[in-house]
Amino acid sequence: MAQAGTFVTGGYDHVVHRWSLSEEHDATPSPLAIRHTSTVQSLLAIRDTSDKLLSGSADCSVSVYDVAAERVVNLLKLSNSVYQVHSAPSPFCALLEVGHRELQFEVRDLRLVPMASVVRFGYPNVKVHGRYTRGAVHDHMFACGGSEKDGCVRLWDLRKPSKVLKTIHCFPGRKTIQVVFDDGRMVACSEDHQLAFLSYNPS
C-alpha cells in the first residue's frame, strides 16, 4: 500500500485484511469493508485521483475500494473468475486475467458502468487460463504464459491487442507460469522452476 508499513492480504475466507506494522514490527490486521462471496485471488494498490485498492475474486467480481473513504466505490461484475489484477497504462484502468479459453484478458475502465469492458483479448486454448499463471504489464506491453505445456510467452501491444504481437518459445513441453519485466528484459518462469531471460523487442 502507499502508506508506509501497511499491506493487505486476502484469501479463502473471502475477507481483505489491512495490516499495519508497528515500530516493534508487530502486525495488526483489520478487515476492510469489501464483500466477496468466494476466494480473494488478487490485490492491487493503485492511484488515480485517490489511493484505491482493487480486489479480484473467484466470485467473478473486482471491488474498487477507496482507501481514504473506507468504502467500495465500484464493483465490476464479470462472467469469469478473476485470477490476476494488473495496473494498466492509464491510471483509470486495470488489466484482468480471467478464467476463459479464448478471451483470457480484459482491460476495464474503473470509472465506467460495472459490466462494460474497454477491450477483451487472448488466444485460443483448450484449457481455461489458470489462477497459477501470471502475466505482467510494462508500458503498453503485456506478456503472459499459458495453461498448456507449450512453453510459450505471448506478447501483446495493449494499443492494438486484437492479435498476438510475438510468441517466444522457451520451455518445450512445460508450462510458463509467470512472466515479469525487469530492466529492459522479460524473465519467464516454468512450472519446474526454470528461468529464461528474454528480449521483448517486438521486431
- Model pTM score: 0.91
First to last CA, the chain: 36
- 53 burial level (CB within 10 Å; 0-12, 13-18, 19+): buried
- 196 burial level (CB within 10 Å; 0-12, 13-18, 19+): middle
pLDDT at residue 93 greater than cutoff 60: yes
Sequence-separated (6 or more) residues with CB below 8 Å from residue 20: 5, 6, 27, 28, 30
How high is the pLDDT of residue 3?
Answer: 86
How high is the pLDDT of residue 57?
Answer: 97
Express each pLDDT in 69-85 by its tens digit. 999 999 999 999 999 99
| CA separation for the pair 60, 77 (Å, rounded) | 6
Per cent of the chain over pLDDT 70 is: 97
Find out whether 153 and 104 touch, Cβ atoms under 8 Å.
Answer: no
Express each pLDDT in 96-128 by its tens digit. 999 999 999 999 998 887 666 789 999 998 889
How high is the pLDDT of residue 183?
Answer: 80
Lookup: cell for 78: 464479470
Find out whether 46 and 11 touch, Cβ atoms under 8 Å.
Answer: no
Q: Decide: helix, strand or coil at residue 187.
A: strand
How high is the pLDDT of residue 184?
Answer: 80
pLDDT at residue 203 greater than cutoff 60: no
Structural fold of domain 132-203: Thrombin, subunit H (2.40.10)
How high is the pLDDT of residue 159?
Answer: 93
Q: Decide: helix, strand or coil at residue 45.
A: strand
Question: Per-domain residue ranges for the chain?
Answer: 132-203
Apex CA 148: angle with CA 120 and CA 169, to 5°? 90
Calculate mean pLDDT across residues 43-67: 96
